[in-house]
């Protein structure tokens, strides 16, 4: 066995991972104690990495028009067909759509090929759905897309404001760092600003449950308040900024009295003023913002409203201070560095940067090849698919993202893909919602195989190391792109043998004609790494850019001297005029739709959906709604319901929760057609874009909710090797597939109940029933199929509330032959005396809610005591907020909950908890 050091492929925290490699397999992972992002910690997704690997379910062979082919045939087809489109319809008819989950080296060669040599500006990335507004705002005010802060600043701050970020679930290791820092520094305060009471509120001293979309009003109000109370940093403003007067004038166009701001944001005025006071009176303030801010039709303005307050108070460029946009994907930052957004050219140069086109042209010119760069920016993600719809773009190459799911108005995107004459998809998994639209499918290597670099949220470049060979014919993305480039005649510019060569070129470009004293110097400069040879690259330790001759060991904090990357050197305060969501509520669609993430899943679940223990925290797609709204609509907890939105519908199970405002529903972004019948949130949203950044308004849809009338519900477990795709044969109005360890669980529901359940079941089950018990009057049935001594399937027709614990049943699928005592208990579905564990709370140690509640009732009423008894919460810590709320719920059932209604007002002054009714 040996250990290799690499970086987690999920979120933008960018944790260092040590992986155990044994006999060509990755057998386990642990946090890298030396990595400065995590110092040994991992969250539940990171620590489950080993369980998501394996060749099963991978794409291993290229396909052209549905036929498996060898690489030569596939690459020839890609090159010939792209060339044909260019000859027919011009260079601009060719486009690429990339992802913040590519490595920097993959990204660099793709950007170079499309913008440099194919001469099309239409290369954009899923970072458009994620970071585009944050990027646009940093550029507008600081002069560069440069996150000023480091993770340490979160620990050194006296006030941390989380706005539109559920850090506890989405950047869990950073949240744990913040939590530890707060427990060490009793003076530190945390404020959470989010329409939902999330698990991040566990450490909050103050929570503002504002009306969705009202953040710009709130931060404009803060700026006005600071000015009125004499809390501006006049010296800082005078020496290092410009634009205060205009920004303040814009803020004052709205009534700046606390009561007026509070009314517009629908928060309690006293709490709002407390927040203003805290913000204004501390110097060391970090405001950390994410998708609740960015995914808005006015996201850039919202980011700038936040940055304005930091500039006005001089709270930037200092330890523990700054406006901190936290990155989502592992390499969203790296993609921005190479110029992967359609409005960028390369290496933090834009089309309009004077001399940039010429400079990049000269840099990419080889002895015999001169690149032909486009002159102006290309289509941004949503617009790109509109151009495909119009027939202007006729060839699209998608790498490492799934626009058929994650773009708004996703059904329209699907129709555009259907129409597009040439769709090429590079992907590592065999079964995604996008692949059916692909003419050419290219199997890509994946984490643990890929070799290159990623940049995390604090500008830290780390190595992701290739430790295992890719399965079958899968190849690295940079290799695939370079091989196509060679076939298109650009071999000399793409003669790479190893990612180290690509990285060195990228590093050289970052420093090319980039003089620190010149007015057009670029902050992104890693030229000190340009001389790394292969062994230096292999050994590269995590380092924060800029990395230059002046700062060869990297740079933790930017703008410490108050000198910004704008031509004048001054940071700009931007006048912001708050705008509400574009997706209007109406009588037909009266509910505000919020979308986001759950703790244990990653995006479209292609990887996390493979780890059974990650499936159990939220097993089915859901809709969260308040008990009051549910009652008004005549629906109940755990009932199935339908949302209807702009471009489609969404069917899922209701979860009643008080941790949300009235009139709002929340759905997860993760489910696809692979996992459920109609639970893609992208189909509910209309595509409204921020005019500056082009980022879609993914957080503020408008929907209607109604009960899904079903005559029956059933749970079916089928042995994993039966494979059979129930989805196609389902006659019900709802299904969800939940992979368990040894079987697939299908949650099913349909309209009219069949008269003869057994006959109905025989139509589509792999074998005839061996055991059954039915109660036709109650529409209930339990049955199981056993073949050659092995359990093949297990069926219960009844509402899922009647389910026994599934862990025991899951294990029985691995048992051969089944003992006779087991057969007797099979229909009851549990071991003698064993009860259902309830919903999974601790994924690391697989501890269910029932055991936790029992332990609390028997006296273990603290997180520590629960950890000592059940081990829950002792590994990654992500479930601690949930443990705490269970303790509080169970301990004083009759006591007043410490948050009241989450309908705008009256959130408690001290740490509120997420009260789950379900
Ligand atoms: N477990 C997990 N972690 C992830 C990911 C994942 O898929 N799963 N994905 C990664 C990626 S790519 C990203 S971009 C990040 C995203 O990380 P986050 O931005 O933290 O994630 P979200 O859940 O999308 O949204 C955050 C919060 O915004 C709130 N919100 C909605 N509307 C508003 C509003 O108008 N104002 C305010 N203030 N808040 C609002 C939502 O209620 C939600 O709690 O997570 C990363 N980490
Ligand atoms: N309504 C709503 N919509 C949203 C969001 C939201 O909060 N609400 N969030 C948005 C955000 S922030 C994001 S980042 C996007 C994410 O959405 P997507 O990017 O569409 O989702 P992923 O599942 O991450 O897609 C990555 C795909 O690439 C594959 N893959 C993984 N690694 C590799 C690799 O190395 N090479 C190749 N070729 N393929 C690979 C995976 O199997 C997967 O199919 O969704 C956006 N959409
Ligand atoms: S916090 Fe993010 S980077 Fe760290 S282990 Fe978890 S998912 Fe991976
Ligand atoms: Mo993201």
Mutational pocket test of ligand 2: of 401, 408, 434, the residue with most ligand atoms within 8 Å of the beta carbon = 401
Phi, psi (5° rounding) for residue 731? -105, 10
**CB of 856 shorter than 6 A to ligand 2:** no
Query: What ligand has the least distance to the C-alpha of 52?
Result: 2
Residue 397 belongs to a domain with what CATH number?
3.40.50.740
Please, what are the averages of pLDDT over each run of 10 residues along the chain (918 residues)?
94 97 93 97 94 91 98 98 98 98 98 97 98 97 97 98 97 97 96 97 97 98 97 98 98 96 98 98 98 98 98 97 97 96 95 93 95 96 97 98 97 97 97 96 97 98 97 98 98 97 98 88 95 95 96 95 95 98 97 96 92 87 97 96 94 95 97 93 97 98 95 89 57 83 90 77 80 79 91 90 85 89 82 63 83 88 89 85 82 41 34 30
**CB of 288 shorter than 6 A to ligand 1:** no
231 shares its domain with 380: no
Residue 860 belongs to a domain with what CATH number?
1.10.10.1100
266 shares its domain with 402: no
122 shares its domain with 244: no
Residue finishing a domain among 277, 296, 326: 326
Q: Is residue 469 part of a domain?
A: yes
pTM equals 0.93
168 shares its domain with 317: yes
Task: Give the chain's domain count.
Answer: 6
> How many whole angstroms separate alpha carbon 12 and alpha carbon 9?
9
Residue 683 belongs to a domain with what CATH number?
2.40.40.20
Q: Is residue 761 part of a domain?
A: yes
Per-residue pLDDT at 757: 77
Omega prior to 546 cis, within 30 of 0 = yes
Q: Is residue 545 part of a domain?
A: no
User: Is 17 in contact with 31 (CB distance < 8 Å)?
Assistant: yes
114 shares its domain with 164: no
User: Using the 8-state DSSP alphabet, how is residue 353 labeled?
Assistant: S
Residue finishing a domain among 707, 738, 772: 707
Mutational pocket test of ligand 3: of 12, 45, 458, the residue with most ligand atoms within 8 Å of the beta carbon = 45
> How many whole angstroms separate alpha carbon 906 and alpha carbon 417?
47
Pocket of ligand 3 (CB under 6 A): 8, 10-11, 13-15, 38, 42-43, 45-46, 171-173
Q: Whose CA is nearest to atom 6 of ligand 3?
A: 43
Q: Is residue 39 part of a domain?
A: yes
Alpha helices in 60-131 (DSSP H): 71-89, 104-111
Per-residue pLDDT at 459: 97
Per-residue pLDDT at 834: 55
DSSP3 helix / strand / coil % (the chain, rounded to 5): 35, 20, 45
Q: Whose CA is nearest to atom 2 of ligand 2?
A: 698
- The atom of ligand 3 lying closest to the CA of 9 is 8
Per-residue pLDDT at 615: 85
Q: Is residue 832 part of a domain?
A: no
298 shares its domain with 409: no
Gap from CA of 904 to ligand 4 centroid (Å)? 27
Question: Domain residues for 19?
Answer: 2-52
Per-residue pLDDT at 103: 98
Gap from CA of 464 to ligand 2 centroid (Å)? 18
Q: Is residue 536 part of a domain?
A: no
Dihedral of CA atoms 154, 156, 161, 165 in degrees, nearest 10, equals 10
Gap from CA of 125 to ligand 2 centroid (Å)? 10
122 shares its domain with 109: yes
Residue 40 belongs to a domain with what CATH number?
3.30.200.210
Per-residue pLDDT at 788: 92
Q: Whose CA is nearest to atom 4 of ligand 3?
A: 15
Residue finishing a domain among 643, 674, 707: 707
DSSP letter string, 778-824: GTEEEEEEEETTEEEEEEEES-GGG---HHHHHHHTT-SSPPHHHHH
320 shares its domain with 353: no
Per-residue pLDDT at 907: 35
752 shares its domain with 820: yes
Gap from CA of 329 to ligand 4 centroid (Å)? 5
Q: Is residue 423 part of a domain?
A: yes
Gap from CA of 598 to ligand 4 centroid (Å)? 13
Per-residue pLDDT at 911: 33
Residue 147 belongs to a domain with what CATH number?
3.40.228.10
252 shares its domain with 143: yes
Per-residue pLDDT at 825: 85
Phi, psi (5° rounding) for residue 820? -70, -30
647 shares its domain with 763: no
Q: Whose CA is nearest to atom 26 of ligand 1?
A: 165
Residues in the chain: 918
Q: Is residue 550 part of a domain?
A: no
736 shares its domain with 607: no
């Amino acid at each position: 066995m040996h250990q290799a050091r690499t970086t987690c492929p999920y979120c933008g925290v960018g944790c260092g991972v040590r992986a155990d490699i044994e006999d060509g397999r990755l057998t386990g992972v642990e946090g890298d104690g030396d990595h400065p992002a995590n110092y040994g910690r991992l969250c539940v997704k990171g620590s489950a990495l080993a369980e998501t690997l394996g060749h099963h379910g991978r794409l291993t062979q290229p396909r052209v028009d549905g036929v498996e082919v060898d690489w030569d045939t596939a690459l020839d087809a890609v090159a010939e067909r792209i060339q044909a489109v260019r000859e027919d319809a011009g260079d601009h008819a060719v486009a690429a759509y990339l992802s913040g989950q590519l490595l920097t080296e993959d990204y660099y060669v793709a950007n170079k090929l499309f913008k440099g040599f194919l001469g099309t500006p239409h290369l954009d990335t899923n970072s458009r759905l994620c970071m585009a507004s944050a990027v646009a705002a940093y550029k507008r005010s600081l002069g560069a897309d440069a996150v000023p802060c480091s993770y340490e600043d979160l620990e050194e701050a006296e006030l941390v404001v989380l706005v539109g970020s559920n850090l506890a679930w989405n950047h869990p290791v950073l949240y744990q760092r913040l939590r530890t820092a707060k427990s060490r520094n009793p003076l530190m305060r945390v404020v959470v600003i989010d329409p939902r009471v999330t698990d991040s509120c566990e450490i909050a001293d103050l929570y503002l449950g504002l009306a969705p979309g009202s953040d710009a009003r709130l931060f404009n109000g803060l700026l006005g308040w600071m000015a009125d109370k004499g809390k501006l940093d006049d010296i800082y403003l005078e020496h290092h900024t410009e634009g205060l007067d205009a920004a303040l004038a814009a803020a004052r166009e709205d009534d700046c009295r606390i009561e007026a701001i509070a009314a517009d944001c629908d928060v309690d005025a006293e709490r709002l003023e407390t927040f203003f006071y805290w913000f204004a009176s501390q110097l060391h303030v970090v405001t950390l913002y994410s998708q609740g801010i960015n995914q808005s039709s006015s996201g850039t303005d919202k980011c700038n409203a936040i940055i304005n307050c930091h500039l006005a108070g001089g709270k930037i460029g200092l330890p523990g201070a700054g406006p901190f946009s936290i990155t989502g994907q592992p390499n969203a930052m790296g993609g921005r560095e190479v110029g992967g957004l359609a409005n960028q050219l390369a290496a933090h140069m834009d089309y309009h940067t004077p001399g940039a086109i010429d400079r990049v042209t000269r840099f990419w010119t080889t002895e015999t090849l001169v690149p032909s760069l486009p002159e102006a920016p290309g289509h941004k993600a949503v617009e790109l698919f509109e151009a495909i719809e119009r027939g202007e773009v006729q060839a699209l190459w998608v790498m490492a993202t799934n626009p058929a799911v994650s773009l708004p108005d996703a059904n329209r995107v699907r129709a555009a893909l259907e129409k597009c004459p040439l769709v090429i998809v590079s992907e590592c998994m065999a079964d995604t919602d996008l692949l059916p639209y692909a003419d050419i499918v290219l199997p890509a290597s994946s984490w643990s195989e890929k070799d290159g670099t990623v940049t995390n949220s604090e500008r830290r470049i780390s190595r992701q190391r290739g430790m295992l060979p890719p399965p079958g014919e899968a190849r690295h993305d940079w290799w695939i792109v370079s091989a196509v480039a060679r076939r298109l005649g650009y071999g000399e510019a793409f003669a790479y043998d190893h990612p180290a060569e690509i990285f060195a070129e990228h590093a050289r470009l970052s420093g090319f004609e980039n003089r620190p004293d010149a007015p057009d110097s670029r902050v992104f400069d890693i030229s000190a790494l340009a001389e790394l040879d292969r062994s230096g690259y292999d050994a590269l330790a995590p380092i924060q850019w800029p990395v230059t001759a002046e700062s060869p060991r990297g740079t933790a904090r930017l703008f410490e001297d108050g000198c910004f990357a704008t031509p004048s050197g001054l940071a700009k305060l931007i006048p912001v005029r708050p705008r509400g969501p574009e997706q209007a509520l109406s009588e037909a669609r009266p509910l505000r739709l919020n979308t986001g993430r759950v703790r244990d899943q990653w995006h479209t679940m292609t990887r996390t959906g493979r780890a059974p223990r990650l499936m159990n925290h939220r097993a089915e797609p859901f809709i969260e709604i308040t008990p009051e709204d549910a009652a008004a609509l005549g629906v109940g907890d755990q009932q199935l319901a339908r949302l209807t939105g702009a471009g489609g519908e969404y069917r899922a199970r209701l979860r009643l929760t008080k941790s949300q405002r009235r009139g709002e529903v929340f759905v997860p972004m993760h489910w696809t057609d692979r996992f459920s019948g109609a639970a893609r949130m992208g189909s509910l949203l209309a595509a409204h874009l921020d005019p500056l950044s082009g980022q879609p308004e993914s957080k503020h849809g408008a929907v209607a909710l109604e009960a899904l009338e079903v005559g029956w519900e059933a749970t079916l477990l089928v042995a994993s090797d039966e494979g059979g795709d129930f989805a196609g044969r389902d006659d019900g109005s709802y299904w969800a597939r939940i992979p368990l360890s040894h079987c697939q669980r299908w949650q099913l529901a349909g309209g009219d109940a069949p008269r003869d359940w057994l006959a109905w079941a025989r139509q589509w089950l792999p074998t005839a029933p061996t055991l059954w018990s039915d109660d036709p009057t109650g529409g209930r049935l339990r049955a199981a199929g056993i073949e050659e001594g092995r359990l093949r399937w297990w069926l219960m027709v009844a509402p899922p509330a009647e389910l026994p614990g599934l862990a025991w049943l899951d294990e029985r699928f691995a048992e051969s032959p089944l003992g006779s005592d087991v057969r007797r208990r099979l229909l009851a579905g549990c071991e003698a005396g064993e009860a259902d564990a309830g919903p999974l709370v601790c994924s690391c140690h697989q501890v269910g809610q029932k055991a936790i509640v029992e332990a609390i009732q028997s006296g273990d009423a603290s997180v520590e005591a629960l950890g000592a008894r059940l081990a829950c919460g002792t590994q990654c810590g992500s479930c601690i907020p949930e443990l705490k709320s269970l303790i509080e719920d169970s301990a004083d059932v009759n006591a007043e909950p410490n948050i009241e209604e989450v309908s705008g007002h009256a959130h408690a002054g001290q740490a509120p908890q997420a009260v789950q009714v379900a």
